[in-house]
Amino acid sequence: MAPTGPLPRSPGVGLVLSAAETDRLCGVLGGAGRTLAVDEQARGVPAEQRVAPRLDRVAHDLLGRLLDARQASVRLDVPVRLDPGETAAVLGLLERAAAGLAGFAGRREGGGYLLGPDHFREQAAAAHAWRADLADLAGRQHDRAGCQRAAGPVREVER
């Protein structure tokens, strides 16, 4: 079943991810990409409709940003920033990956494979959980940024 949660409230919402969060997200995207590449090739999905290459590109891009952030500061946990378009793309890919992995698990049901459907259901659940968490994080970061802008300058309180 495909995740159907709403996207962040504003199309102008970006994300700020820590190095650890970015590293884990790269693992989820990369694992989903490798699994879906096998499935899409076996099913003969046309190249322009395949999700796996897009997942791999996003994981590779995030890994490059992570390495750049680590090189920028050896001692600090420098965050990785995604603009609103990149955030929407990652959320959409995670949703498509979760749906594709769930479908792949269903097709492997009762097939006697070394890796049974439960492994792929776990991958789908991880992609779905990441999508939900990132959408929630984007919303909270957007709310926090809106509160900071709306507050204006701080005034001294007279005693």
CB atoms within 10 A of CB 14: 18
User: Does some domain include residue 8?
Assistant: no
Based on the structure, what is the number of domains in the chain? 1
**pLDDT of amino acid 114:** 77
**What's the pLDDT at 151?**
44
pLDDT at 3: 42
pTM of the full structure: 0.66
Q: How far, in Å, CA of 60 to CA of 94, rounded?
A: 15
Return the pLDDT at 39: 92
Segment 103-115 mean pLDDT: 83
Predicted confidence at residue 147, as pLDDT, reads: 52
Asked if residue 9 is part of any domain, the answer here is no
- Kindly indicate the confidence band of residue 14, based on its pLDDT and cuts at 50, 70 and 90: confident
Q: How far apart are the first and last CA of the chain?
A: 60
Residue 124 has pLDDT above 60, yes or no: yes
The rounded distance, in Å, linking the Cα atoms of 153 and 133 is 32
Q: Is residue 3 part of a domain?
A: no
The H-assigned helical ranges of the chain are 19-43, 52-72, 84-107, 117-151
The residue range of the domain holding 25 is: 15-151
